[in-house]
Structure 1
């Protein structure tokens, strides 16, 4: 479809983002002309009927606009600063973990387990039977439900009447058959009641129309892409040295996150020179592989916030913190005594802080207290149904790549940059929040590709039914099919030095990872060297900033 342009559509999507009542200061809107979108191909890269390609190009452009605004605020309004975003690079941002390698090995290679620290304490990823809990399954009433293992599959398996471990079913098809045999004995509502009762993650697979008809869908669809509220107005404005050298040099960020969306926020802040410390606990499970990409630019420490020693070390970090990014279940950090209200009492207006909250369902709606993951957001918002129907199926199918995770991570970075802009301009403390479901709601609102364009894309990628994907195809299977077809159709991208870089001396080995998407010269230098090389969780001693 020769008339289609990813650049022009991305520009239109960027404008729609501003129409969603973004809580930005006038200077941000004034700098919309400071971003340049480029591409070497007018064809969308991601094999999904929704405009994911353009959504990431637009969000990276918005990131660039706010970063330019901060750069001018810090280094001088007379500076001629421009942000450049390659739309293809932006589109491959959510495929980061499918593109990166360690010593030449991709994440699905069996040899990878020898290169990363094992934090899969509950065998959610290493045990096929337990891993297959995270999937879409048919229900008794002809609907579909997305179960999720979280970081421990045992509670859900037990409640469904299945054994926590089953070595006789440690193969994909036999594990899925055992689980679907149970789900087909229950209605979707009955499964949902079970999942809610044990406070685990799961969701019925809704169409877009069903989501918008729900009370939560009605709430989320009226909210901006990210929200901002001022917690107090008496603390002084944040002062950053004009010496830099980078846009966020000197900004101190505590990363209290796991898995994907939250760590994406802080990795991107680290691209701008922020001083990031990722705090994890050696007692809590995580997905080890994602540390390879997401710990670039960070120091990583282990602290037990339920122990006196851990709390003491953490509170010393709080004395100088500028930003806290919280990606845990709603209320978890507050119950430890470190929520936004606790920090306000602690600082008493003497210093400001930005508190960033990342959740699945967002805040203020009926489902806001529910735990969730990217796949759950895809199912509840209608993305999985849209993907399956576009393949010619009458069943939901997981989308390629963790689009909602990376979309929310990107929104979290944008929201943080925006809150820092408020702190620098007006002083005070700010609370900002982003959610997986809101990103998906926005993506769905952009509409599908024109029919002719999608038919061409689907056939080229093999996503027209020939790939034999269906509701049982899990996250990795769909993602691997997508990245394989992208490599086949666009082989030049793999060797593009603008897209990827290598870090030769890391604790993992030689790591190949994505370069920062947004280019702002000369104030963004992560492409040439991060503050810290990537490392496993808990790699550094908790010695303060």
Structure 2
């Protein structure tokens, strides 16, 4: 799979104008990172799709078509943005809890724990009945059979994944549910009048577009960040009680404002309804149905704000028995055979993840792409729209690209190798060094108009 063919698949699935593809230049070849998977093609294609969708939305307002270019090495730097983040020239930020990782079970299988949130860590320790150390956790897990522990942790609402081969994953009902879904869906969910792009800054493709970003960690926040870098007014909404990972708040908060709203309280729900009434895009990455239980499902939002573009990002998809299972990028890699494939290719004893959070980043860019395609449809035919994606659907697509036999032998890419892809901005956190947008647009260049803000730094209003 080449980047060009992957981009064509995205563009065709969305029903976009095929002539626009002539305005894109992609450069670079896999492997750009040590992996047997074509991660570079995934990065280039999803980021190019986002840039081209922004260019096409701008064309609706101006009539001008512009050129879009993406270099694979820059796209891969974007896919590792959290790794290259630095504050005040300090060390790489800590992104993982020490207990997170792979463990061998009693029956010789492997399981991955995800314990980056304190309550997830404590829940795992409670199930295992052990203290908080890798050695104690390893000893406790060695008393369990892998499948039993996997199911026990899932039933407790905790985050783990049994390492499966692609063949073992394919036999599961969840894999079959995912196989029945397209890469993404863009569905009309209600009637609303046509809304042409608002008159705004001619140098910003999404000038005047208001986005509510109700997401945390990587996939959803990357989608909001991508919309922000093309000029959208993105307001990030966090619950005051919800955990976050500080470096990711910084990296993915660039270009956004940040407010706190407590949806457990009636006043908070009323505040969010008011914000939704003035929004164009409502982006959320909670488990399927979680926000609907608070009165903020797609159909409810289409009634509150006819013409809304509602974007749903989940881990394992909205169908199948795992739709409610908690998940993160690395867990989906483990469950679906990606970590097993990388281990086998490299001859490792332990499972091996991709060299970046590729499912997170790709799904984030695809979510931003879907939002912009839906905005363009609203501008030409009206309607309210629902965009649905999941990490598992993106992972399945990556696995369909084929493999590079010795791709895992490619050299790793250090921060010094991508210095030309980075930029520095002053912020409340200090001087933030971060990866710049990878897509190059002739007329409306992508950039961050605001530094990252602390959670709750802004009022919950437009």
Shorter-chain TM-score range? over 0.9
Q: Which residues of structure 2 form unaligned runs of 5+?
A: none
Aligned residues: 459
The equivalent position to 1:149 in structure 2, one of 96, 112, 115, is 115
Q: 5+ unaligned residues in a row in structure 1: which ranges?
A: 1-7, 110-123, 126-130, 167-174, 462-484
The answer to whether structure 1 residue 211 and structure 2 residue 138 are counterparts is: no
Q: Which residue of 2 aligns with 1:162?
A: 130
Is the radius of gyration larger for structure 1 or structure 2? 1
**What aligned pairs does 1:90-239 form with structure 2 within 5 A after superposition?**
90-108=75-93, 131-149=97-115, 151=117, 152=119, 153-163=121-131, 166=132, 175-233=133-191, 235-239=192-196
Tell me the distance in 2 between the aligned counterparts of 1:373 and 1:48: 19
Q: TM-score, normalised by structure 2?
A: 0.94
Question: Is the alpha carbon distance of 1:328 and 1:107 closer, same or farther for their aligned partners in structure 2, counting shifts above 3 Å?
Answer: farther
How much has 1:243 moved relative to structure 2? Answer: 4.3
Alignment partner, residue 240 of structure 1: 197
Looking at structure 1, the residues matched to 390 and 24 of structure 2 have their Cα atoms a distance apart, in angstroms, of 25
For residues 312 and 127 of structure 2, the distance between their equivalents in structure 1, rounded to whole angstroms, comes to 30
For residue 507 of structure 1, what is the aligned residue in structure 2? 428
Q: 1:418 aligns with which of 351, 357, 373?
A: 373
- SS for the counterpart of 1:517 is coil
TM-score (normalised: structure 1): 0.80
Query: Is the 2:56–2:65 contact (alpha carbons within 8 Å) kept by the matching residues of 1?
Result: no
Q: 2:36 matched to 1:44?
A: no
Give the structure 2 partner of residue 81 of structure 1. Answer: 66
> 4+ residue stretches of structure 1 with deviation over 4 A?
none
Q: Is the 8 A contact 2:30 2:40 kept in 1?
A: no
Residue in 1 that maps onto 2:259: 301
1:75–1:242 CA contact under 8 A, matched in 2: no
1:317 matches 2:308: no
**Secondary structure of the structure 1 residue equivalent to 2:149:** helix
Deviation at 1:16, TM superposition (A): 4.4
Is the partner of 1:510 in helix, strand or coil?
Answer: strand
Contact 1:330 1:371 in 2 (8 A): no
Whether the 8 Å contact between 1:207 and 1:381 is mirrored in structure 2 is yes
User: Which of 398, 418, 426 matches 1:494?
Assistant: 418
User: Alignment partner for residue 338 of structure 2, among 376, 380, 383?
Assistant: 383
RMSD of aligned C-alpha atoms? 2.1
Cα distance in structure 1, aligned partners of 2:52 and 2:58: 10
| Match among 53, 59, 76 for residue 40 of structure 2 | 53
Q: Secondary structure at the match of 2:386?
A: strand
In 2, the alpha carbon distance for the partners of 1:253 and 1:509 equals 26
Q: Following TM superposition, by how much is the alpha carbon of 1:331 offset from its aligned partner in structure 2, in angstroms?
A: 2.0
Per the alignment, residue 13 of structure 1 pairs with 6
Q: Which has the higher contact order (CA 8 A, sep 6+)?
A: 2
Q: Residue 396 of structure 1 aligns with which residue? A: 351
